[in-house]
Amino acid sequence: MISELNTLAALWWAVILSGLYHGLNPGMGWPLAVSAALMEQKRSALPKALALLSLGHFLAMLAILLPFSLMLVLVMWEIEIRVGAGLLVIAMGVYLLINRRHPKILARVHPARLTLWSFLAANAHGAGLMLVPLFLGICAVDADTGHKAAETLMRGNVLTAFGVALVHTAAMSLAGGIIALVIYLWLGLRFLSKTWFNLDVFWAVSLILVGAFGIYAAITGLLW
């Protein structure tokens, strides 16, 4: 029991840390919030833009997690699904390592449509996929398939999906918001363009590592 609680706590911390990591990545959109505030010359534009970006990220997380939570076969094929999800995350990481170009569709979205841009950016970079192995691990800890009906289990997984998406997005918004506020108030976009480092490779590698961990955990039963 204590081991399961420790595992569950570790998984939720991983959800939070991944959110902070996403928030630090400029590819998730916080520079757009800084740009919006500077162009409108209104401090109030910054939290508004961050809120729209957060909404788009939250919806992107749900778009990935909800289909997994609604799968009744998760009860019967839990290990296989977790392994498959891990392979999918690894494949996304390898693809991003090979293809360094940013998706052209993001350039076609008007900068004012921050929610739509954030939704597309999160999916294009595999941000939602990164959460899948963690989410499935949490569901495995919560699920006592010998005593819960499939319908009850699925309902619990849906609530867990909302919880994971909400906690992750809150952490992302906190990290991105702090950086955006510091850049806006003191440093400016010129500092950002000269000093910020590229996280694309690190992002792709982190996807591969998370996917590999998900497969290892599913096979060894580490998250049971």
Task: Give pLDDT, residue 152.
Answer: 56
Best CA proximity match to 219, nearest among 92, 84, 109: 84
Distance (Å, whole) CA 84 – CA 89:
9
pLDDT bin (cut points 50, 70, 90) of residue 224 is very low
Question: What's the pTM?
Answer: 0.80
Distance (Å, whole) CA 25 – CA 179:
10
pLDDT average, residue stretch 19-46: 83
Task: Give pLDDT, residue 178.
Answer: 92
Domain boundaries, the chain: 2-220
pLDDT average, residue stretch 6-12: 78
Question: Mind listing the pLDDT tens digit for each residue in 140-199?
Answer: 765 554 445 555 555 677 888 899 999 999 999 999 999 888 888 877 666 665 555 556
Task: Give pLDDT, residue 146.
Answer: 47
Question: Mind listing the pLDDT tens digit for each residue in 35-94?
Answer: 888 778 788 888 998 999 999 999 999 998 888 877 655 556 777 778 888 898 999 888
Q: Which of 14-28, 158-172, 195-209 has the lowest mean pLDDT?
A: 195-209
